[in-house]
Amino acid sequence: MKKFLILLWVALTFPFVQAQEFHFMPKIGMSFANLTNSEGKMAPGLNVGVAAEFPVFDSFSIEPGVYYSMQGTRSSSYVGMGDMRVGGDVTFDMDYINIPIYAKYYVYEGFHLFAGPQFGFNVHSSVNVDARDFEGSGDNIDIKDAVNTFDFSIGIGAGYQFDMGLNIAINYNIGLTHALKQADFSDLGIDADEWEGWNDSFRNSVLQINLGYRF
């Protein structure tokens, strides 16, 4: 039934998409990312990409896009480094290529709401432990093998499209899949006991603010 409804929706909307103009929109903005169920803080990062808007009806359109998004989390705590426990800052850097497909509804003039699925692909992951008075701290440790390659999330947001072409939008993406695998950081020199339960429940949680221009 679900497959049938999806195919029916595509069949009904495709002719409208083909018949209407489409708009090209480069965008740049900031991501404020965290991992759910962790004790981390929001980590700022760049979000840059391009979207296309396909009008379906007068007030409704489809907006797919492709973005490079810097995500992750930050934490200030005591962490295990080998046989030592040292205080410092831990930063998880997790970069994704994200492909959202938004349904977009214009409520009044340029003001619009949007929502839809997002498919993410991890392209870089590292952890940085900036430990006080610890030799070798500050180095980036590759943890890509401990991060799931695929991420699925749902995004919701609102924005305003100006007549001059400028577009501003804010959206929140909540991950529905686990960001991290069942892995042990001990072979990387980081004590995983400090992150008990991290590999079972962490999901991406990202707030984004973007500026774009519609051609």
The CATH class that applies to domain 22-213 reads mainly beta
| Cut 0.75: pTM above it | yes
Read off the pLDDT of each residue in 183-207 and give the average, rounded to a whole number.
Answer: 63
Q: Contact, 24 vs 66, CB < 8 A?
A: no
Separation CA 157–CA 100 (nearest Å): 12
Alpha carbons within 13 angstroms on the beta-carbon side of residue 60 total: 7
Residue with tokens 């700022």: 44
Residues 6+ apart with CB under 8 A from 165: 213, 214, 215
Residues 6+ apart with CB under 8 A from 1: none
Separation CA 118–CA 131 (nearest Å): 35
Write out pLDDT tens, residues 26-53. Answer: 999 999 999 888 777 888 999 999 999 9
